[in-house]
């Protein structure tokens, strides 16, 4: 059992997480930073799933004619459907 980050004792039932990566230098990729990025990655994955599954099911088609405007329209849809926009 690992020690509690709050009290330093082995009294609390804090879960132990293991994260595997090919980055071996801890200075290049600190564990806390990787954990935060992993959380952000899943926020993005969930937003893309929302777009692909629910908006695509509504047959929404991007109407823009240029790549730049398609990108702008995509980001607008992403912001409109994201629960963390605020």
Q: Which class for 34: exposed (0-12), middle (13-18), buried (19 or more C-beta within 10 A)?
A: middle
39 occurs within a structural domain: yes
42 occurs within a structural domain: yes
Range of the domain at 35: 31-81
Q: How far apart are the first and last CA of the chain?
A: 39
73 occurs within a structural domain: yes
Q: Residue 12 pLDDT more than 70? A: no
* Distances 34 to 3, 26, 75 between C-alpha atoms, Å: 21, 10, 25
Record the tokens describing residue 44, joined without a space. Answer: 């993005």
Number of structural domains, the chain?
1
23 occurs within a structural domain: no
What pLDDT does 81 receive?
65
65 occurs within a structural domain: yes
Q: What is the pLDDT of residues 24-65, one digit of tens each?
A: 888 988 888 888 888 888 888 887 777 777 666 556 666 778
62 occurs within a structural domain: yes
3 occurs within a structural domain: no
């Amino acid at each position: 059992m690992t020690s509690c980050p709050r009290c330093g004792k082995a009294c609390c039932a804090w879960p132990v997480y293991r994260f595997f990566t090919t980055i071996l230098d801890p200075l290049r990729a600190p564990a806390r930073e990787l954990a935060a990025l992993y959380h952000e990655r899943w926020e993005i994955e969930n937003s893309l799933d929302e777009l692909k599954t629910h908006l695509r099911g509504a047959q929404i088609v991007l109407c823009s004619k240029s790549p730049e405007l398609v990108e702008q329209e995509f980001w607008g849809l992403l912001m409109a459907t994201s629960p963390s926009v605020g």
